[in-house]
Amino acid sequence: MLNYPRKIRNSLKKLGRGKSLRIVLEGVHDPKYEQLVDSLREQLFAEGHLMERQTDYHSLLRFLRMSDFDLSKAKDKFVQCLRWREEYGVDEILKEFKFEEYAEVKKCYPHGYHGVDRNGRPIYIERIGMVDLNALLQATTVDRFVRYHVSELEKTLNIRFPACSIAAKRHIASITSILDVKGVGMSTFSKTARSLFMEIQKIDSNYYPETLNRLFIVNAGNGFRMLWKALGTFLDARTLAKIHVLGYNYLSNLLEVIDQSNLPSFLGGDCTCSDYGGCLFSDKGPWQNPEILEMLQSASIMEETYDSETDSDVASEEAMGTSQNEDCGDGGNTEAQKIHALEVALMDTNKEIQALKAALDNMKAVLERLEQHIKALRV
């Protein structure tokens, strides 16, 4: 969550991409918030809570917004987020968690990302009224479903948002969501359902704040409206202001912000994604575009190369520093120590050259594929 904006920004610099693309991915920094973000960064760094890779402007700004720009509260919430990520093992989830029951879960809990709104934001859809909770709990557990939910949040922050930013040519960092609640009422909201809702809501609001642009709740009947009065008490005022509860005549509201081609047919749109077994199975969006993914992959490779160079530079400096310190205590070994330090520095430099060569080869391959694709489009 905290790495991707800086990672993409620095990588694009090394890739030699245009300044405009870097601005798209990094986004515009509002001068009136810049000082607050800097102050929060300084406080976190002074207390040892923040590393350089976690100083992203937009991530810190989200925590400031959720805290009504109270620096002390924002710092506490950010630290709580870091602690939760470590205790919950978010990084391990990304590397090791496999949700083998994905297809079965989709059948009894229809949900997924599908296209973008008119401003280029990802669209997330759930058909709550079609959830079969008993079947869901036979296919998976609450704990595994929540871990899957976290993995999807991370994918959105690290892949979907930057991919949408490239496609829209503007910084994208929030989603438009649609919940279809047809048939949902007090009787369908069991204790287990409440528990799952509360856990997911807590994670979303506390650890991934300010990533919701707006939420449309459609097909809301009288039963759901009674339920909503109870559910609304668990949501903060900022979130409630983004939620629009609509009845059965909702289509015009959706079409104001979503093109009909990006709206599934079951919501009144034109899309069916028949090749994928339905819109909620397709994960349709710019994050599936091979060219955009290659750009992001190349950026990641270049960032890893940069990190490797930095580590090598530090090691070389440490080796030279050790040599100099020892020189002061033992004049007889001065020349040998200097030679050893230079040999270490030379080895590190050779490693850097090899890493750069590999990265350039990879970049050359990407550019050749893009050139072939452009030629094919011209034909």
Give the mean pLDDT of the chain. Answer: 82
Condensed to tens digits (0 to 9), the pLDDT of residues 140-191 reads 999 999 999 999 999 999 999 999 999 998 999 999 999 999 988 777 777 8
Condensed to tens digits (0 to 9), the pLDDT of residues 148-157 reads 999 999 999 9
Band of residue 110 on the pLDDT scale cut at 50, 70, 90: very high
Condensed to tens digits (0 to 9), the pLDDT of residues 318-330 reads 444 544 444 444 4
The pLDDT assigned to 48 comes to 84
Band of residue 15 on the pLDDT scale cut at 50, 70, 90: very low
Highest mean pLDDT among 29-38, 229-238, 366-375: 29-38
Give the C-alpha distances (Å, rounded to integers) separating 325 from 5, 187, 319, 338.
39, 75, 10, 11
Please identify which residue in the block is written with the tokens 């994604």. Answer: 273
Tokens describing residue 147: 């871990």
Q: What does the alpha-carbon distance between residue 10 and residue 299 come to, in Å, rounded to a whole number?
A: 8
Of 14, 19, 9, 290, nearest to 167 by C-alpha is 290
Q: What does the alpha-carbon distance between residue 126 and residue 177 come to, in Å, rounded to a whole number?
A: 8
Band of residue 354 on the pLDDT scale cut at 50, 70, 90: low
- Asked if residues 219 and 182 have their Cβ atoms less than 8 Å apart, the reply is yes
The pLDDT assigned to 84 comes to 95
Task: Say which residue, 54 or 63, is predicted with more confidence.
Answer: 63
Task: Say which residue, 140 or 295, is predicted with more confidence.
Answer: 140
Q: What does the alpha-carbon distance between residue 83 and residue 88 come to, in Å, rounded to a whole number?
A: 8
